[in-house]
């Protein structure tokens, strides 16, 4: 039986690796086509990669502890790994948006606005937006790129991380059937 601190300790290492992988991918995408950072496919790719890496590292952890893992330990491992990865990813984004390229948020906001307007036009609602609506959308987007906005986004992500950890824990758990009475 694993100790209660072991899932968290392994999760710190795995979450750190996940976070660094995500930051490197983010910087590579930025180097090749920064507007892709706000695209649907990039967001989908990040979600799938996060999920895949978490399962991979979780299976590695399960093997480390003897091949069996309780649901609670699997959840703890997953949740802590996601929090650590999210913290590193957020720090990487703050560096990108405020140190490396402070003009990038404006470029991304313009790309997001044009994407939203295109989508609304496809549904026939593009003409119903007023200038005030556009300004309100822009201000909301600007706020999400500030340091405080990034930290708030991370806080909201914790809810998503908990849900994701619940799902991954169900995948990772494995009971020792020899202990059946």
Residue linked to tokens 């706000």: 38
Inside any domain, residue 12: yes
Inside any domain, residue 156: yes
- Whole-structure pTM value: 0.86
| pLDDT > 50? residue 16 | yes
- Each residue of 114-142: pLDDT tens digit? 887 787 777 776 666 667 777 888 888 88
Inside any domain, residue 181: no
Length of the chain in terms of residues written = 181
Task: Report the pLDDT value the prediction gives residue 166, as an integer from 0 to 100.
Answer: 96
25/30 Cα distance (integer angstroms) = 8
Q: Which of 53-57, 64-68, 127-131 is the most confident on average? A: 53-57
Domains identified in the chain, total number: 1
Inside any domain, residue 95: yes
Report the range of poorest mean pLDDT among 54-58, 127-131, 132-136, 157-161.
127-131
Task: Report the pLDDT value the prediction gives residue 4, as an integer from 0 to 100.
Answer: 44
Q: State which residues form the domain around 135.
A: 5-176
Task: Report the pLDDT value the prediction gives residue 27, as an integer from 0 to 100.
Answer: 95
Count Cβ atoms below 10 Å from residue 148 Cβ, excluding itself: 9
Inside any domain, residue 152: yes
Regarding predicted confidence, which is higher, 102 or 117? 102
CB 47 within 8 A of CB 168: no
Q: Say which residues have a Cβ less than 8 Å from residue 83's Cβ, sequence separation at least 6.
A: 15, 158, 161
Q: Cα 115 to chain center, whole Å? A: 21
Choose among 84, 56, 59, 55: nearest CA to 69.
Answer: 59
């Amino acid at each position: 039986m694993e100790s209660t601190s072991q899932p968290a300790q392994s999760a710190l290492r795995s979450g750190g690796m996940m976070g660094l992988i995500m930051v490197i991918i983010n910087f590579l995408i930025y180097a090749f086509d920064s507007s892709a950072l706000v695209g649907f496919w990039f967001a989908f790719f990040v979600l799938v990669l996060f999920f895949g890496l978490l399962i991979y590292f979780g299976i590695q952890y399960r093997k480390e502890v003897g091949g069996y893992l309780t649901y609670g330990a699997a959840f703890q491992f997953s949740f802590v790994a996601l929090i650590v990865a999210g913290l590193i990813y957020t720090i990487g984004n703050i560096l990108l948006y405020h140190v490396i390229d402070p003009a990038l948020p404006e470029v991304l906001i313009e790309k997001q606005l044009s994407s939203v307007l295109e989508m609304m036009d496809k549904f026939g609602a593009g003409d119903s937006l007023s200038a005030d609506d556009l300004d309100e959308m822009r201000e909301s987007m600007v706020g999400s790129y500030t340091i405080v906005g990034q930290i708030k986004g991370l806080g909201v992500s914790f809810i998503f991380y908990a849900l994701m950890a619940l799902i991954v824990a169900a995948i990772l758990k494995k009971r020792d059937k020899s202990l059946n009475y």
